[in-house]
């Protein structure tokens, strides 16, 4: 499992601090200011970088409240 968020890394850390046990279950976290992420949502860059970290898994499911970026990534 992975997190792909439009938040900066510093804001992600602040927002999830109280839930470190939950977020510790994720294999990776990709934030908008990470290397490899060019444009933010609705561009697909965040999802594509999160997907790349999994070395092209055969199956991918995105749970997202703004579907345009996921659709742009063809996921």
What lies within 8 Å, CB to CB, of 53 at 6+ separation is 2, 27, 28, 30
Q: Where are the alpha helices (DSSP H) in the chain?
A: 9-16, 20-23, 45-53, 67-72
- The SS3 assignment for 55 reads coil
* pLDDT band of 47, cuts 50, 70, 90: confident
* pLDDT band of 63, cuts 50, 70, 90: confident
pLDDT of residue 45: 92
Set out the domains of the chain in order of their start, with CATH numbers. 2-72 (3.40.50.1000)
pTM over 0.85, yes/no: no
Say how far apart CA 75 and CA 67 lie, in whole Å: 10
């Amino acid at each position: 499992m992975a997190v792909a968020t439009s938040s900066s890394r510093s804001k992600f850390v602040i927002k999830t601090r109280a839930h470190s046990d939950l977020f510790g279950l994720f294999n990776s976290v990709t934030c908008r200011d990470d290397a490899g992420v060019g444009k933010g949502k609705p561009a697909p860059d965040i999802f594509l970088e999160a997907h790349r970290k999994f070395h092209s898994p055969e199956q991918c499911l995105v749970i997202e409240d703004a579907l345009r970026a996921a659709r742009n990534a063809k996921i």
